[in-house]
């Protein structure tokens, strides 16, 4: 596992994070690990768009659809 160092964090932000970690009953390290896990488990908008494009791309052309409609109409 990789160690991570964050420099130049303002004191008021560190204090807020320490309070939130304590309220959650966690160490600051455990609190940060949970934040990172939560953030990385959510897809970004770009990732969602790419996924939607992959999953909604049809292998059927407009011509195929129109031909199927015409075929169904003639079969009535």
pLDDT digits (tens, 9 = 90+) for 25-55: 999 999 999 999 999 999 999 999 999 888 8
In a domain, 53, yes or no: yes
Decide if pLDDT at 13 tops 90: yes
In a domain, 1, yes or no: no
In a domain, 35, yes or no: yes
In a domain, 3, yes or no: no
Nearest to 26 by CA among 12, 11, 39, 36: 36
Number of domains into which the chain is organized: 1
Structural domain including 34 reads 11-74
- The vertex-17 CA angle with 28 and 15, nearest 5°, equals 110
In a domain, 4, yes or no: no
Interacting residues of 30 by C-beta distance below 8 A, sequence separation 6+:
21
């Amino acid at each position: 596992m990789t160690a991570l160092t964050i420099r130049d964090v303002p004191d008021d932000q560190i204090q807020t994070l320490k309070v939130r970690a304590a309220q959650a009953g966690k160490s600051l390290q455990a609190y940060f690990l949970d934040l990172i896990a939560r953030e990385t488990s959510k897809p970004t908008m770009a990732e969602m768009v790419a996924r939607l494009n992959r999953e909604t791309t049809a292998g059927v052309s407009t011509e195929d659809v129109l031909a199927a409609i015409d075929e169904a109409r003639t079969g009535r």
